[in-house]
Amino acid sequence: PHGTAHHGAGPGHGTGPDHGTGAVVVVAAALLDRGRLLAARRSAPADLAGRWELPGGKVEPGERPEDALVRELREELGVEAEPGERIPGEWPLKPGYVLRVWSARLLSGDPLPLEDHDELRWLAPGELDAVDWLDQDRPAVAEAARRLFGA
Ligand code: C5P
C-alpha cells in the first residue's frame, strides 16, 4: 500500500524509487518457518485475484527495503518477521515497478490474510509448484528456493 515516487536519496539508500532505473521497488518476503515457505493468494485487484505471491508491497519514500518488508508483513499478515539475505535478482512487475525479494524468518504470530489476501499456505520444498504463482513471482520463487532449500 501507499508510496509515491520521489527524487532525493541516492542508490543503496533504499528509498522507494530505484534511481538506477527510476522504478518503484516492491519488496516481497520468502518467509520461512520450520522449513516451509509462505505463499499468499491475492484477493485483489481483479486481474491478480486468485493467483499466489510472496507477500510484500511498495517501499515508501525514505524507507529502507528491509523496514518496508517488516511493515508489510505486519500489516498484511499480522506477524513479526526478521529479514535475512536478499535473494539476488530483480523481476519486472507492471511498468515502473520492480520486485526484489528478501528471505525472512517468522519471529512471532500466526499469519492471517488480513489485507490483500484471502488464503495462505505453508509450502514444503517439494510443494512449491502446488500453487498458481503470479507470473512475475515465479522466477523469484525459483531463485529463493534454490538459495534457501538448495532446490
Ligand atoms: O501490495 P502493494 O499494492 O504495495 O504491491 C505493489 C504492487 O506489486 C502490486 O501491483 C502487486 O500486485 C505487486 N506485487 C507482485 N508480487 C509480489 C508483491 C507485490 O506482483 N510478490
Place of cell 517488516: 70
- Is the CB of residue 1 below 6 angstroms from any atom belonging to ligand 1? yes
Pairing type for strands 56-58 and 23-33 reads antiparallel
- Is the CB of residue 58 below 6 angstroms from any atom belonging to ligand 1? yes
- Helix/strand/coil for 72: helix
Per-residue pLDDT, 12: 42
pTM of the model: 0.87
- Is the CB of residue 125 below 6 angstroms from any atom belonging to ligand 1? no
40: buried, middle or exposed (CB in 10 Å: 19+, 13-18, 0-12)? buried
Model confidence pLDDT, tens digit, residues 27-38: 999 999 999 999
The stretch 72-85 carries a mean pLDDT of 98
Q: Which of 38, 93, 98, 120 is the pocket-test mutation for ligand 1 (most atoms within 8 Å of CB)?
A: 93
Per-residue pLDDT, 14: 44
3-state helix, strand, coil in the chain (%, to 5): 20, 40, 40
Q: What is the DSSP letter of 53?
A: E
- C-alpha grid cell, residue 143: 531463485
Model confidence pLDDT, tens digit, residues 80-129: 999 999 999 999 999 999 999 999 999 999 999 999 999 999 999 999 99
